[in-house]
Amino acid sequence: MTKPGYPAMSIKRKLLFELSPRHVVTRNNITVSQSQIDPVTTELLRNATSSNTRTTYRAAIKHFRRWGGMLPTDSQTLMSYLTDNRMKLKKKTLDVYLTALGQWHESQNLPNPCKDMAVKKLVKGIKNTHGVPEERAYALSLEQISNMISVLREETDTAKKHRNIAVLLLGYFGAFRRSELVNIKVEDIMWSNEGIEITVNRSKTDQEGKGSKRFLAYCDADLCPASALKAWLANGKIKEGYVFRSIDRWDGVSEKGMHPGQVNRLLKSLAKACGYPEALISAHSLRRGFATQSVKNGVDRHKLKSYIGWKSDETMNKYIDDAEKSMDNPVKTVLDGGK
Query: CA 181 from chain center: how many Å?
Result: 10
Residue 210: predicted pLDDT: 60
Q: What is the pLDDT of residues 225-234, one digit of tens each?
A: 999 999 999 9
Q: Are 100 and 19 in contact (CB under 8 A)?
A: no
Residue 317: predicted pLDDT: 76
The DSSP 8-state label assigned to residue 245 in this structure reads: E
Cis before 72 (ω within 30): yes
Query: CA 231 from chain center: how many Å?
Result: 27
Residue 3: predicted pLDDT: 43
Q: Is the pLDDT of residue 310 over 90?
A: no
Residue 98 — φ and ψ, nearest 5°? -65, -40
Tell me the DSSP string of 9-64.
PPHHHHHHH---TT--EEETTEEE-GGGS-HHHHHHHHHTS-HHHHHHHHHHHHHH
Q: Is the pLDDT of residue 244 over 50?
A: yes
Residue 90: predicted pLDDT: 81
Q: What is the pLDDT of residues 57-94, one digit of tens each?
A: 899 999 999 999 999 999 999 999 999 988 888 888 88
Residue 136: predicted pLDDT: 74
Q: Looking at domain 11-130, which CATH architecture does it have?
A: Orthogonal Bundle (1.10)
Regarding the domain delimited by 142-285, which CATH topology (the fold level of the hierarchy) does it fall under?
hpI Integrase; Chain A (1.10.443)
Q: What are the domain boundaries of the chain?
A: 11-130, 142-285
